[in-house]
A and B are shown apart, each in its own frame.
Chain A
């Protein structure tokens, strides 16, 4: 069974640009969550999608958005990039319901550098 796949693995962008990150969850999983990891703020929850609907959202500005497709693949978009957006972005998938929702499987992350 394939794991969670995040693409690309590394990105370098310029301030003011926008970026789209992709996450393909484990087959059969309907929930995808996104987290931002930085040395200063640690791991912070961005949002969670379940069956194409945003089910929960963290405390991030509106520049951070996401969506989920019918095949459960998810994308997150960051517009008007700032230097502080440089981080490792982690995606996690789970079944989204019942006991299976308690176990989240993570991808290897996308390392975004804003210059």
Chain B
């Protein structure tokens, strides 16, 4: 069975600085997708970034980028130029072959003004 681990329950960063959130996973599948979702206080889950396992190139979406290390089964999220609106819970998720999302425990990101 696949598992997703986020070892940082909480992280804080100064506004405008860069922060990296960690995620590791375990799987025996060779083809899969990984995601970072953001959940603000409104509770709606918002997709931040997606990575296909067969692509070696790291995904990037504006200020958000990932460091995908397939052999190490690591998938970290880097947020550059942090903004107050980035404050939220961040979840790492793995999509298995049977379409379900398997989630990490989440990291609460605090932005200090």
Contacts and interface: CB of A to CB of B under 8 A. Distances in A.
Interface of A: 31, 33, 35, 42-45, 48, 50, 55-56, 58, 88, 90, 92, 96, 101-109, 111
B44 A108 contact: yes
B100 interface: yes
30 contacts: A31-B99, A33-B99, A33-B101, A42-B103, A42-B104, A42-B106, A43-B103, A44-B103, A48-B100, A50-B99, A55-B99, A56-B98, A56-B99, A56-B100, A58-B100, A88-B43, A92-B101, A96-B99, A101-B99, A102-B33, A102-B50, A102-B52, A103-B50, A105-B47, A106-B37, A106-B44, A106-B45, A106-B46, A108-B44, A109-B44
B25 interface: no
Question: Does more than half of chain A's interface fall in helix, strand or loop, or is it mixed?
Answer: strand
A83 B101 CA distance: 25
A35 B100 CA distance: 10
A102 B101 contact: no
Given A92-B45, A106-B44, A106-B45, A33 B100 contact: yes
Q: Which 6 A-B pairs have the closest CB atoms?
A: A106-B45, A43-B103, A45-B100, A108-B44, A56-B98, A102-B33
Given A43-B103, A108-B42, 18 more contacts: A33-B101, A35-B103, A42-B106, A44-B103, A45-B102, A48-B100, A55-B98, A55-B99, A56-B98, A56-B99, A103-B50, A104-B101, A105-B47, A106-B37, A107-B44, A108-B43, A108-B44, A109-B43
B46 to A, nearest CB: 7
A31 B98 CA distance: 12
B78 interface: no
